[in-house]
Amino acid sequence: MKNEKMLGQNLTIVVEFILLGFSELPKLQEVLFGIFLIMYVSVLLGNGLIILITKIDPSLQTPMYFFLGNFSFLEICYTSVTLPRMMMTLWTNKRNISFLDCGLQLCFLLMLGGTECLLLAAMAYDRYVAICKPLYYSLIMNYKMCIQLVVGSWISAMPVVIGQTYQIFSLPFCGSNKLNHLFCDMPPLLKLACGNKLIHEFSVFADAVVFAMVPFLFILGSYIKIINTILKMPSGTGRYKAFSTCSSHLIVVVLFFGSAIITYSIPKSRNLSGMDKVLSLFYTIVTPMFNPMIYSLRNKDVIAALKKLLPK
């Protein structure tokens, strides 16, 4: 299969990409495959267990665990967009990816990433209502509200993401077809595009602001109010329980938003491809892998539910 089509005498148009990934580490391909396989299995098992216990355990039939179950399902989907393809590349050493496959991967990556940002914001709102307005919690966070927040998180980013993916792949990709990244993502794709990319680079930044920075600021504002309320609690036990409930969510927020915002806020960077790869692993693999551990190790209800489910 040819990687390029000739147009005129000196200009070529790329019709597929070569994902360089970890090609600079040829001796570690099998080791990396093993590491990623373990990570993927951990993501599937850990998040699968969270989904299971939040569905079957009566003590976890609350809005907080409803959001956690949906978040775990989202993490499985998010990781599955990139990790199986990366493992296949490491195993077979076939790095080519077609325009269509690259476009679909980018579209689902952005869609699920935007959903994760919004769902984390919804989870922060749930904690805010629970701690700052406990008397109205059952009234505000009813089943209908929970469904609306989850569905809204899933569908809000879809139109923007589809349009942005179309814009990216409407650009002419001429010359090199080597994508110096682990998967198809906007910043590395824009580096290969020709012509005036200013408006598209701005759209990447705008996307980061709307679907990452705004939810992050909302979460930050919610937790400022939450912490202020917790510090006013007279009971030390109550303060500890409230902090323990919120700390798990905060750790996930910092891991995901920190790496994603840095990556998408510097689309013009050409000298940080190695750092981009490391950061991309954080928000696509590391956070989904540690999510079940973060929530279970710091949550007595989840630990109790796991003890009931798993044989001693």
Q: Right CATH number for 4-309 from 3.90.1150.10, 1.20.1070.10, 3.20.20.140, 1.10.274.10?
A: 1.20.1070.10
CA 132, 294, 287, 159 torsion-angle sign: negative
pLDDT (tens digit per residue) in 251-306: 888 888 877 777 666 554 444 556 778 778 888 888 888 888 887 766 777 888 88
CA dist 108 and 106 (Å) reads 6
194 versus 35: the higher-pLDDT residue is 35
Closest residue by Cα to residue 177 from 82, 104, 98, 280: 98
The torsion defined by the Cα of 89, 94, 99 and 101, in degrees rounded to 10, comes to: -40
- How many Å apart are CA 145 and CA 134, to the nearest integer? 16
CB atoms within 10 A of CB 53: 24
Give the type of residue at 304.
A
Residue 142 is predicted with a pLDDT of: 94
Query: Sheet of 16-19: strands edge to edge?
Result: 96-98, 16-19, 178-179
pTM of structure? 0.86
Closest residue by Cα to residue 212 from 186, 236, 237: 186
Per-residue pLDDT tens over the stretch 59-94: 889 999 999 999 999 999 999 999 999 999 888 888
Query: Domain residues of the chain, as ranges?
Result: 4-309
Amino acid at 83: L
